[in-house]
Copies of this chain bind each other. A is one copy, B any other.
Amino acid sequence: MKSTLRNGKDEMVVTPWEVMGEIDYDRLSREFGTHIITDELLQRIAKKAGYIHPLLKRGLFFSHRDLDVILDEYDHGKPFVLYTGRGPSGPVHLGHLVTWIFTKYLQDAFNAKLYFQMTDDEKFLINPKYTLTEIHNFMYENILDVIALGFNKEKTKIITDVKNIGSLYEVALKVARKVNFSTVKAVFGFKESDNIGIIFFPAIQAAPAFLESALKGRSVPCLIPAAIDQDPYWRITRDVASKLGYPKPAQIHSKFLPGLGKEGKMSSSQPETCIFTTDSPEVSEKKIMNAYTGGQATLEEQKKLGGNPDICPIFFYDYYVLLSDDKEAIQLRRKCRTGEVLCGECKKNLAEKTKRFLVQHQKKREDAKNNLTEYLLERNGF
């Protein structure tokens, strides 16, 4: 959906392919018709998990649809499956990991099965410059990142669309029969010049939400953790669900992930604004040291006026991506505001943490090569 709300400053554009401008999340949630996660819901999740995940406490995951319904059903003995995914058109950056780390938290909390969809078909269809082989090379690398996060091997199946189309197609056809061009035009802004593959694709992205129900021949609820820009897909999916007799998939939405560019932008198309999981520690350090910050123009001004952590990618990164602990984060915010800490020092600290994370993650990525096939979907799911 093209949301062209003005928030007094910049035009806000939110579609599954484009996030631009400064985002007013309350307004986005109202416009999309989602609900803000209440403290009560947060506590219900925390109770199952044994702790409140910082991404929940810090409000990165902030909105939902039917999360309450899913939790009620779970409490009445009806387990749900989790579903999330990735479009493999390039390397994974640390921002991507955040949703997946949170998904693992939910998997552990609810002992839930997870379908993780790799949309190689979508990325092939929207990138005329790539061959499928190139997309598959990205995908292989991306899968290593997913596995490296430690998802439950018995409970996680990675769907790669092209290879697993045999498992998805029948459900996708059922979805497609209920969705016409007018709808995808209105929801995604498709034009007549768009190719017929990408026009069909929303049916493929909807399919995993119903896959467990279809394979098991009984109604299995589904919860989708994803950034809120993917919400248009789920609105169509929810609309179709009732027509097909499947449960409406619930969602838990994150805000967009902060990066190292101005206004916290992080985008694979601007590689200097994001740390890729495959970056060498040295490269990551360089990117961080060159990042935009919320600090003042000069050392004197910074000491006098203090910085603004709330627009600072370095602070965001520490807070939302590397998940510094609460005490540390509160202290850093205060020190920044008062000018007690300077940007260079802050960057250096973050660079050290990032390098440590990368070294560990890259080791787990290597180990993942030995486990890869166990995570891949076979014809009949779990």
Contacts and interface: CB of A to CB of B under 8 A. Distances in A.
A180 B181 CA distance: 12
A165 B162 contact: no
A241 to B, nearest CB: 16
A121 B180 contact: no
A178 interface: yes
A177 interface: yes
Contact of A173 (B125, B128, B176, B194): B125
Contact of A180 (B172, B196, B200): B196
Given A165-B165, A166-B166, A181 B173 contact: no
A54 to B, nearest CB: 39
Contacts of A190: 181
A135 to B, nearest CB: 10
A170 B131 CA distance: 11
Nearest to A122: B173
A185 B192 contact: yes
B192 A181 contact: yes
A162 B203 CA distance: 15
B170 A195 contact: no
Copies in the complex: 2
B181 A199 contact: yes
A173 B162 contact: yes
Nearest to A126: B177
B192 A196 contact: no
Contacts of A197: 172-173, 176-177, 200, 203
Contact of A199 (B128, B165, B191, B196): B196
Contacts of A182: 192-193
Interface in A198-219: 198-200, 202-203
A132 interface: yes
A23 to B, nearest CB: 29
Contacts of A173: 121, 124-125, 132, 162, 197
A4 B145 CA distance: 57
B170 A196 contact: no
A203 B132 CA distance: 16
For the complex of A and B, 10 pairs with smallest distance between CB atoms: A176-B197, A200-B200, A165-B169, A166-B166, A182-B192, A181-B192, A196-B200, A176-B196, A180-B195, A165-B165
21 contacts: A121-B169, A124-B173, A125-B177, A128-B177, A132-B170, A132-B173, A162-B169, A163-B166, A165-B165, A165-B166, A169-B169, A173-B197, A176-B196, A180-B192, A181-B190, A181-B194, A181-B196, A181-B199, A196-B203, A197-B203, A199-B200
Given A163-B166, A178-B195, A196-B202, 15 more contacts: A128-B177, A162-B169, A162-B173, A165-B165, A165-B169, A173-B197, A179-B195, A179-B196, A180-B195, A181-B181, A181-B191, A181-B194, A181-B196, A182-B192, A196-B203
